[in-house]
Amino acid sequence: MSFGSPYVTLPRFSYLRPRSLDEAFEALEGGNAKVMAGGIGLLNFMKERLLAPSVVIDIKGIPELSGIRLSGDVRIGAAVRLVELEENRSLELIAPTLYRAVRQIADPIIRSSATLVGDVCEAIPWTDGPTALAALDASASVVSKNGERKVKVADLVQGLGQLAIDENEIVKEITFSSGYKKGTYVKFSNASEYALASVAVAYSPESGIARVSVGSLAEKPQVFTLEDAGTSPDEEVSAMIRKVSSYIESGLSAVDDILGSAEFKKQVAKALIIKAFKEVF
Amino acid sequence: MEENVVGKRVPQVDSWLKVTGTLRYSFDIELPGQLYVALVTSRYAHARIRSVDTSDAIKSPGIVGVFTGKDFPFRIGLYIADRDLLATNKVRWVGHPVAAVVGTSMAAAEEAAEKVSVDYEPLEPVLDVEKAIEKGAPLVHEDMASYNYYKGFINPVPGTNIANDFRLVKGDVSSGFAESNVIVEETFKIPQINHAPMEVQNVLAYWRPDDYVEVWTSAQSPFATRYLTAASLNIPVNRLIVHVPPAGGGFGLKAGIGWEPLAIMISKSLRRPVKLVLSRSEQMTSAPSRDGLVANVKAGFSKDGRFKAYEATFMMDAGAYADYTVNVARTTGYSADGAYDIENISVKSLAIYTNKIPTTAMRGFGHPENHWPLEQVMDRAADMLGLDPVKIREINLHVPGKSVRGTGEPVREYDGNPRGVLEALVKGIGYWEVEKPSEPWKVRAKGLAMLVKAPSQPPNAGASAIVKIDEDGTIDVITGTGSMGQGTPTSLAIIAAEAFGVPVEKVKVNQLEGVSTDQNPYTWQTVGSRGLYSDGIALLRAIEDAKNQIREMASAVFRVPKDDIEIRGGQVYPRTHPEHRLGLKDFAMGYTYPNGNTIGGPVIGRGSYAPVLNTFLDEKGHGHNTVFHTYGGTAVEVEIDLLTGEVRVIKVVQAFDVGRVINLLTLEGQAFGGFIMGMGSALYEEIKFDKQGWVLNPNLTHYYVPRITDLPDEIDAVFLETPQMDGPLGARGIGEHVMIAVAPAISNAIYRGLKVKLNEIPMNAERVWKAIKEQRPELISSAFEQALSRAEEIHV
């Protein structure tokens, strides 16, 4: 991500690479520190002087933060790079919503160092990870020396650059139910690297719950169930699309930004719903 | 080994160095003890500078100097000297450099730059060309009357924001309109766009202890850079040595004069080498971009389709400085009639100052600007007349040997085959065939646009070349044209290989190492698609000179008349007795007889070229100001998504009459790359400003140039070969033409498919969707129903 920087150098900072969470917590105690995983977002923000931490804590050396677990609830550690998710074909079967989103994040070069947790913690309204994770009703485990708490990913991102965690906390991992066996992620970008609108659908055939998350329209993904939109997976798909389209029109908020007008973003979201629903239902 | 390589696919001579990361760009060059520059730039579009406080910055660690406009109280420029090195008295756009902070490291300089504080008195900015030419508009340059400019070439209007007022008049448009049955009247717009080269501008300058000045710069035109810089800074021309290593893209941005004077003056002051490297966002705000345009055009046609009258006002948004855009406006004006015979023409073309990013040359140089309206006018008029877009072009296209351009220049027999280009486009794209869209809510459509362009240059734009034969018979070619990926050096190598009949590997062009003004012979500039033509002619003359030197010696050695000596296949022999043969190497250093006597000497050929019978243009825009014209065109097949307005280019045909194909690989590369660049500006690219003149997208995230995933499925290139009578081997230039017709071709396709007009680029999804919604709303609702009914089918 770049908003444009007149700078070519980074501000001064010290770099720490702790081997354990406790070491990381200790480093955070010093204040004015930032946690870095892939570094894609953080280093750019620093180059642009949007952030100027005196300490950068690289968490890639902490063993608990690596690894993907697919049995039971899905768990993805904070140091897991997007390329690891992309290469995990089992993830495609267990959580197609996330898998498809990951494949569409940025480009292969960035995916080789960026992490999913980093994609969330960047807190940029147009990124793909949070939209997909919100559809999956995913939670983040947030840890500090005082213990661990769970926050819904949908609540973690509060708006542009705003994250609902404290300065002494680290997002350790993301978890979600492996029940959403059907789903997809579709995005539309035009004249930008970012999605002007995106739609994630997560559907659990067993429970009959279908969740829809719409990204990029406003400052954070907006999530609803088919029930919220007055429909269900039992209806014909064209009826579902009609109802969800009118729900998007009347029930979701949208803002004008550099990517497009609110009116156009809603139009694109509706077009994406057609594509996504045809695929899933 | 293949000797005859003309027209074949020859990899560019610097390919290996490029793909192995070995080629040295100017950015890679460093000198011991060099200093680094960080710029402090304006946060106002228009403001008076009350004071600049540099006292904290100069005390910052590692800082050796801080400079402001007061340190360099003079102006520079190419056609009009309107630029300051650093803002003096006032700032004219957001991004205008106000101070330069110089340190022993970039980090130190950037840190200290934050400590410079500038006290501004905000002034009302003017951000719109139409408002800028209203009476009483704020003036961007109050002192225009005192500026030096190229008299006879441009016409600035002091007391206004008009940096150049160019007129082209042919016949009488009012009687032309009176005779017209159909009139098209429209306003067309183009935003400012960025060149976005891979390599940002950078300069290393060293004012040496002996008062010679050396500069390494990412530039296009070594000699223009040298002359303009030397003249601006009062340095004797031969004491300024400009080194131009191969550039990582130029596209016009790096023509003329850039950041060299600032780096030189800082070096003069500090007596150390100074490196100035822009960041990407500085490249996109503090450096020049391409002019924006508002064009009001009116075109009249008789009922049989004849183009009777064309009236156009081009208002080019030159931004804060117009030192090159004055000539862009002139060029847009004199070539406004494109490839068509228009009976009556009245064109006013203005370069207008605004408080936006300064502008400069860009690939196409005024022709993307004037073809955007003209080529759409043709399709709109055809529609009104009940003709098709091909027919109306057939009726009005130039007829070589018969037609006369708006400037009064005849279209010569050897200028090319415009009709053949049109036929190639129609055939190549399958213009009359209807393709099935990939989804029922999408529409497939085909469109085309023609173009013609000549280099826009002063009447004395010369070139020269040197050819040397080495001890082993290999050949060195030296010209002054910079290498920025365009392929001219390779084409020159092919011409030399052909002339001596040796494999192309035996020819070395010294541009591989870059051009140095103290070592290379002069060429005016590396611009205007002129390199192959101008340097090529000079090179052929140099080759002839070298061959004459060899013939002189061989005449003595073989004891036959000089004119009977043949030089072919790398060998020298009497025409009548080819069994007596010597190699080029036997003459390279002079011919040595068995007893040691030597005649001649090292062979070194020289050749010069200047345009023939060129003139300035008079007050009606008439005169002879071109050296060759290249005709061409672009045809596209697009798919338009009615639900999102997204336009995807499916297939492309690019066709040009290049005179003679010298290097097919380079030509194809130009045709493909130029299309992609043209598509970027047609569909995506736009510098966005807010109401205060701030740039909203000074980055490659939101200023979107095409990525690999945006490319068409198929791009074909067709090359016609109507030899240019005076061109090297019949060739003419092509480097800019490849992007000129792209935007109108896409717009014409959309119009043909949907009857929806798009008068403004970029034709991004939102703009296209809004145009459909305004002009044909029923298309969107029926597309939605189509999409749903198809969904139903799948569900069942």
Q: Is B192 part of any domain?
A: no
Determine the distance in angstroms separating the CA of B642 from the nearest CA of chain A, rounded to an integer.
10
Dihedral over Cα of A252, A254, A259, A260: its sign: positive
How large is the ipTM?
0.95
Q: Is A4 part of any domain?
A: no
Dihedral over Cα of B750, B756, B760, B766: its sign: negative
The pLDDT value given to residue B528 = 93
**B795 vs A contacts (CB less than 8 Å):** 236-238, 281
The pLDDT value given to residue A1 = 42
Do B737 and B693 reside in the same domain of the chain? yes
Can you read off the two tokens belonging to residue B327?
Answer: 């000539």
Instruction: Report the domain count for chain B.
Output: 3
Give the Å distances, CA to CA, from B77 to B157, B227, B259, B289, B326. Answer: 17, 11, 11, 15, 11
Mean pLDDT of B783-796: 69
Nearest-Å Rg of the Cα atoms of chain B is 28
CB contact, 8 Å: B283 with chain A? Answer: no
Residues forming a β-bridge with B161: none
Determine the distance in angstroms separating the CA of B108 from the nearest CA of chain A, rounded to an integer.
9
Do B770 and B633 reside in the same domain of the chain? yes
Q: Is B794 part of any domain?
A: no
Q: Is B724 part of any domain?
A: yes
Q: Tell which residue, B752, B746, B754, B748, has the closest CA to residue B775.
A: B754
State the residue range of the domain holding A211. 182-280
pLDDT band at B508 (very low <50, low <70, confident <90, very high): very high
Do A161 and A260 reside in the same domain of the chain? no
User: Among A176, A207, A241, where does a domain finish?
Assistant: A176
Percent of chain B with pLDDT over 70: 99
Do B471 and B543 reside in the same domain of the chain? yes
**B695 vs A contacts (CB less than 8 Å):** 4
Q: Is B175 part of any domain?
A: no
Determine the distance in angstroms separating the CA of A105 from the nearest CA of chain B, rounded to an integer.
14
CB contact, 8 Å: A250 with chain B? Answer: no
d(CA B415, CA B560): 40
pLDDT in tens, B702-733: 999 999 999 999 999 999 999 999 999 999 99
Residues forming a β-bridge with A26: none
The pLDDT value given to residue B793 = 54
**A259 vs B contacts (CB less than 8 Å):** 702
Q: Is B350 part of any domain?
A: yes
Interchain proximity A236–B792, CB inside 8 Å: yes
Q: Is A157 part of any domain?
A: yes
Burial class from Cβ neighbours inside 10 Å (0-12, 13-18, 19+) for residue A146 reads exposed
CB contact, 8 Å: B296 with chain A? Answer: no
Q: DSSP string covering A38-77, please?
A: S-HHHHHHHHTTS---SEEEEGGG-GGG--EE-SSSEEEE
pLDDT in tens, B47-106: 999 999 999 999 999 999 999 999 999 999 889 999 999 999 999 999 999 999 999 999
Give the Å distances, CA to CA, from B777 to A260, B236, B770. Answer: 20, 66, 9
Q: What is the DSSP letter of A11?
A: P
Q: Is B172 part of any domain?
A: no
Q: Is B182 part of any domain?
A: no
- Please name the member of A4, A188, A196 whose beta carbon is closest to the beta carbon of B284: A4
Determine the distance in angstroms separating the CA of B146 from the nearest CA of chain A, rounded to an integer.
33
User: Among B609, B627, B650, where does a domain finish?
Assistant: B609
Q: Is A7 part of any domain?
A: no
Interchain proximity A258–B769, CB inside 8 Å: no
**A191 vs B contacts (CB less than 8 Å):** 683-686, 704, 762, 764-765
Q: DSSP string covering A154-176, please?
A: HHHEEETTEESS-TT-EEEEEEE
d(CA B458, CA A258): 42
pLDDT in tens, B34-44: 999 999 999 99
Dihedral over Cα of B79, B88, B222, B279: its sign: negative
Interchain proximity A5–B279, CB inside 8 Å: yes
pLDDT band at B222 (very low <50, low <70, confident <90, very high): very high
d(CA A66, CA B154): 66
pLDDT in tens, B589-616: 999 999 999 999 999 999 999 999 999 9
Q: Is A5 part of any domain?
A: no
CATH of the domain at B251: 3.90.1170.50
Q: DSSP string covering B748-783, please?
A: HHHHHHH-----BS---HHHHHHHHHHH-HHHHHHH
Q: Is B369 part of any domain?
A: yes
The pLDDT value given to residue A4 = 61
CATH of the domain at B507: 3.30.365.10
Interchain proximity B281–A4, CB inside 8 Å: yes
pLDDT in tens, B764-776: 999 999 999 999 9
Mean per-residue pLDDT of chain B: 96
Note whether B40 and B97 are within 8 A (CB). yes
- Please name the member of A192, A193, A278 whose beta carbon is closest to the beta carbon of B791: A278
CB contact, 8 Å: A262 with chain B? Answer: no
CB contact, 8 Å: A106 with chain B? Answer: no
pLDDT in tens, B142-176: 999 999 999 988 999 999 999 999 999 999 999 99
State the residue range of the domain holding B581. 15-21+459-609
Q: Is A9 part of any domain?
A: no
Can you read off the two tokens belonging to residue A121?
Answer: 């913690």
**B641 vs A contacts (CB less than 8 Å):** 271
Interchain proximity A9–B110, CB inside 8 Å: yes
**B770 vs A contacts (CB less than 8 Å):** 264
Can you read off the two tokens belonging to residue B713?
Answer: 């499925």
Characterize the bridge pairing of strands A33-36 and A55-58.
Answer: parallel
Q: Each residue of B311-320: b (16+ CB within 10 Å) or e?
A: bbbbbbbbbb
CB contact, 8 Å: A246 with chain B? Answer: no
d(CA B705, CA B64): 38
Mean pLDDT of A120-140: 94
User: Counting every residue, how long is chain A?
Assistant: 281
Q: What is the DSSP letter of B480?
A: -
CB contact, 8 Å: B438 with chain A? Answer: no
CB contact, 8 Å: B691 with chain A? Answer: no
Mean pLDDT of A186-198: 93
Do A187 and A273 reside in the same domain of the chain? yes
User: Among A125, A159, A176, where does a domain finish?
Assistant: A176
User: Among B233, B260, B280, where does a domain finish?
Assistant: B280
